[in-house]
Amino acid sequence: MPQSKDWPFHKLLCHWYTSRKDQSKTFSKVSCLKAVPELLQLLSKLLCLLKQKQISLKDSDFYTLKSNRELSANTALESQLAQLLIENRDFITYLKSHFHFTAEDLLQILFRLACNAVGISNQDLQYVAVGLYLQASLVNHSCHPNAIFLFEGNVLILKALKNIFSGEEIVVAYIDVMQDKHTRQKELQERYLFVCECEKCRDGSTGAEAEHRCPCCLSLVYDQSGIANHSCKGELKQIVEKENLCFYFSCIKACCDKLPFLKDRSEQLKLIEKLIHFYLEISSDLNVHVAAYLNRAMDLCIELQLYRKAITYGERALPAMEVHYSELHPLYALQALPSLC
Q: Which tens digits make up the pLDDT trace of 181-201?
A: 888 888 888 888 888 999 888
**pLDDT the model gives residue 241:** 58
User: Sign of torsion, CA 202 204 206 211?
Assistant: negative
- Which regions of the chain carry the CATH code 1.25.40.10? 208-340
Query: Are the C-beta atoms of 276 and 293 separated by less than 8 Å?
Result: yes
pLDDT above 70 coverage of the chain, percent: 76
**Least reliable range by pLDDT among 81-85, 224-228, 280-284:** 224-228
Output 243 or 288, whichever has higher pLDDT.
288
Q: Which residue has the higher pLDDT, 217 or 87?
A: 87
Query: Was domain 208-340 assigned CATH 3.40.50.2300?
Result: no
Cβ proximity of 308 and 294 under 8 Å:
no
Binned at pLDDT 50, 70 and 90, residue 270 comes out as very high
DSSP assigned state of 25: S
Q: What confidence category does residue 341 fall into, taking pLDDT thresholds of 50, 70 and 90?
A: very low
User: Backbone phi, then psi, for 225, in 5-degree steps?
Assistant: -85, -5
332 pLDDT band, cuts 50/70/90, is: low
What is the CATH code for 119-192? 2.170.270.10
Closest CA to 1 of 111, 119, 133, 101: 133
Q: What is the pLDDT at residue 236?
A: 41
Task: Share the mean pLDDT of the chain.
Answer: 78
Q: pLDDT: is 205 or 100 the higher one?
A: 100
d(CA 159, CA 150): 7
Considering the chain, tell me which residue range(s) the CATH 2.170.270.10 domain(s) occupy.
119-192
- Compute the distance between CA of residue 319 and CA of residue 314 in angstroms, rounded to an integer: 10
